[in-house]
Each structure stands twice: as structure tokens, then as C-alpha cells.
Amino acid sequence: MIYLDYAATTPMTDAAIAAYAEAAKAVYGNTSSLHDAGGSASFLLENARTRVAKKLGVNRDGIIFTGSGTEGNLLAILSLARVGERRHVIISAAEHTSVHAAMNTLEREGYLITKIPLDENGLVDIEILQNSIREDTVLISIQHVNSEIGTIQPVEQIAKIARQNNILFHVDCVQSFCKLPIKQFAKDVDAITVSAHKIGGPKGCGVIYMNPRKRTVPVFPGVTHERGLRGGTVDLPAIVAMVTAMEQFTYELEKFKLYRNRLKEILNDTGCIFIEAEDEQQLPSICGLCINGVEGQMVMLKLNEAGIGISTGSACDINSSSGTKAILAMGNSLSKARQFFRVSFGDGTTEEHIEKLGESLRIIGEELCL
């Protein structure tokens, strides 16, 4: 199969698999045990923590290993939002499902949630965000790169607004980690979420950065691992594999721009529409598309028959009947949202894959738009 669903997950690299196997075999002690086997495991864990902190440009004391990006978002948001007496949270309407799940929990606890729409380019409207701030606003949570359409949100600008208003700020960087600069805003935010399996690491492993200078309220009080924010023995082999993948990962921005532009050329005179921002605010490897009058699920199935794997949006929303959040957040109808499908490139993508995808989409459009 021609795999074009890298935004959902990436294959583990050979180096990450080898690192996982070696750690699982040779460093099997519990990182909390006081004997030599535990000490060796603890040394490896803390070394990994330092390396992730260096990559993000943050204090290593704030690095917390988690079981996924989803878990990371839930822990970070709930731990920050429950600090103090303020009960208002601002997010975008197009956040990842895990963020909306955290909002559902907070709403049941009496919090008021404001969901900011996206503009016609798929970007958060800064003016609306500023006007939504209240005296009791405790937290803003905005993703760096939208997982469905690949738009790059103005998180640096939002970080300044949050600081000026003494509001905590969490950024979901799952799609941007190792692809876009994060250091330039990392020290100005209070929490960051990243995940291993988007960069050639293992599934079931992620990281949150929690500003160690800020107070948090653990979701599960009384646990002892990871600064008391996440219980359970850490998965050291997965952590080692993640760090290995992180340090080897490269994102070929210009190559993916060429692939995106080539796909546009092939589809130029068809009914295929790209949902995107301007180049400087768009991650080129994530392409959100629609074919007028054709449901995205049908496009996905037809491409699958042609040996091409894509998705109809975030893998975490695959069972949703409401369409993609991003398209709806931009003010589009439910009908258009159901026409959405997503193509995403990665290390294994070639020019031949783009040509095959483009020609297949042309054929699908001709067949189904008659």
C-alpha cells in the first residue's frame, strides 16, 4: 500500500525498534527500585528526560512521560485548570478530541468553556480570543498545528496575551514536534504535549512539559511517579525508543511543499478543494481536501481499493458522524464537513506516490461527480 496517513501515525524507525529491544533486554529494572538494576534504569530515564528537555528548550524538571498525546492533554489541562478559584477556559472549536474530553469533564465540575471559531483560513481569530477573556479565565489551550488541515496557529501571539492577563497556557504540539520550532515559545507557556508515534517512535508513549514554577493539581492525588502527576511504572523501553526517534527525525519542509504543489497541479481543474492557510501558516505535509458532492469516506474507500491509505480526519474521531471539527469550526455546513478527507506525507512518501494519488483522485472525481 501507498501509505499517506502519517498524521495519524508513522512506522517505527529501525533505530527506535533497536533501542526499544536493547532497553527491554538489558535495562529491565524498575526506575524506582533502590538496587543496582533500578539505578541503571533510573539513570537511563533521567538521561532521556534531559534530552527531551533540551529538544524543547525547557527545564528538565518539567518533563513528564505519559502514555500518549491524549493522556498528556488530559493530564496537563485538568492539572492546570483546577488550580485556584477561576472557572473559565478558552479553547478553539477545532482542538483534538482529548481536549474536548477534558472540557466535558470541567463542564461537569461547573466550568464555563468558550470555544473560539476558526477563520476562513483555518486560524484562530485572535480578536475573538482576546474579547473572550474574563476575570475568571484560568486557562487557554490551543494546538500548534491542526491535525486535520495542518494550519499553524499563532501560539507565540497567544502566549503573550495569556501572560499579559495572568492566564495559564497549554499548547498541543503533537503534530508540530520535531517539525516546527518550539523553543521560540516553549519557555513562555505553561504546558506542552508531544507524542512519540508521530515521529517514528512507539505508540503508547508521550511527554508533557509542565512549567515547574507553576502550581498544579494532580488528576490522581497520591501517585508517586513522574512528580506525582502520573502513576504507574514508566515504560522505559518506549521512552528510550522515543528519544532515539526524536534525535534522528528530520522534517523535509521544502520537499513536502513540492509534493503539495504537485498535487495541486494535478488536481487543478477538478472539483477537489484544498482547505488551507497561506504558506507561512501551513504545515505542507498535512493536506485537508474536499471533492464537491462526494463524501470523504467514499473517497477514502475508493483510494483504499487503489492501494492508497488516507483518512477522513483525526484517527481519534474516526467513529464520529458529525464530520471533522476543523471544517465545522470554520463555519462550514455538516454536509461539507462530511466531504472532508486528509492526506499526509512522511519519510516514505515519494513523487511517484503523489502522482498515483493525484491521478486516482481525478478518476474518483470523474466517476462520482457525474
Q: How many CB atoms lie within 10 A of CB 4?
A: 26
* H or E segment and range at residue 189: none
State the Cα–Cα distance between residues 261 and 16, nearest whole angstrom.
32
Q: Which of 178, 205, 272, 316 is catalytic?
A: 316
> Known catalytic residue: 316?
yes
Residues 6+ apart with CB under 8 A from 239: 45, 48, 65, 205
State the Cα–Cα distance between residues 219 and 209, nearest whole angstrom.
16
All three cell numbers of 262: 504537485
All three cell numbers of 214: 507553576
Nearest to 12 by CA among 310, 345, 248: 248
Strand-pairing partners, residue 290, are 273, 340
Cell 473572550 found at: 132
Residues 6+ apart with CB under 8 A from 153: 92, 123, 124, 142, 143, 144, 145, 146
- The sheet carrying 168-172 orders its strands as 63-66, 206-210, 191-195, 168-172, 137-143, 88-92, 112-116
143 φ, ψ to 5°? -75, 145
State the Cα–Cα distance between residues 100 and 73, nearest whole angstrom.
10
All three cell numbers of 168: 495559564
- Kindly list the catalytic residues: 316
